Structure 1
């Protein structure tokens, strides 16, 4: 059964913890009109749907659900990766991944599926069998080789759980993310030690690579000006050395993977 617009509006208003009064004031309409929209006594125009989406910070992929639930045509699309208009974005992804060598970098989608990796990332994860198309969530939960390589696996699981919860709040209802949060929450609850909300500001991931342990923290880059759903949700995750020993080892191991090769 298809959601009604009122169902979708109420779901997101509660997700953002806004009252009908607060949403009405921020959107420039009366709380009574918000109530009428939620109960189906009023139908929204396209402009009203998008205005409410702006106020509730609804991402592009979820806005299509808002529009179709109101009987309106979707506004956001996912284009084929080889479409001519996608070329500048694809080139930007390739440029960032390549130029980040000799440090690892990868591109992942909203469900943490690997879309691309640079040469250092491919080398670092080679023993785990991870490659393009694989899920980092599945690997974190069920890949024995990755579990053995991560020296601080419990910390990374807590960090990943906090990140997944943040992403789920951003994207709204998402069965894949909800499943991942549930699985990781069960695992973290069984761990002794620091609670998720008491984590330090930075937790480097410590990877065992042969007889070395490499310690990395990551930064995430996203496209801020694209109307394509898939590209708006793509994240470029770049690994940086957390200590001098890692920097020196990384440059010694993958220095020949520098830009231009």
Structure 2
């Protein structure tokens, strides 16, 4: 019988409880979950419901099935990257990094940060509404989570928005780029992202310590102020095996 209106599917309740137990470290000792039949008895549901719940956790990257051995905690817990939550102003407006939203207490750091003021590629100039050959501030950095390199990001910010702010320095201060833009009167209020998956280039393989031919996610984000002018263009290259991209939509 299908659930009544407003009643969650049983497998989601099982998945939610198992997720909480995983996060609490209940299975850390041998990294193995109870067998499917044991879970069926524990939750009082059908075997199909148990398998649906485990499928949810597998798709989230929390668990993995090993043929003939059962279900185990995944070797790598994906970074859940919720685009809408991480771009809420209350996050960067409260002097938090958007990465605090992504990693939820895991160890992360920025390495190899560089800031310069070069001539930008023509495609970037068009996005920023600059003349061909114009210069802009470029911020390049690599992100490492749990000692694993996971992403390279390169931001371009027009000089008129970055000048005389910490955006031109290695350390942008609490709240990062967007907090500094808000202080300068150029608060980002609208964002657009484009996402595509492709094979990593040789340079990206070396940079992110990938296997040859591994997939990456290339993500472009445009941040705009109230009048529609672009205040930042960010090109990100993500190790596709390390991320789960989530987009929430409300009716």
Fold equivalence (TM over 0.5): no
| Higher fraction of strand | 2
Q: TM-score, normalised by structure 2?
A: 0.29
Q: TM-score, normalised by structure 1?
A: 0.28
| Higher fraction of helix | 1
**Higher relative contact order structure (alpha carbons within 8 Å, sequence separation ≥ 6):** 1
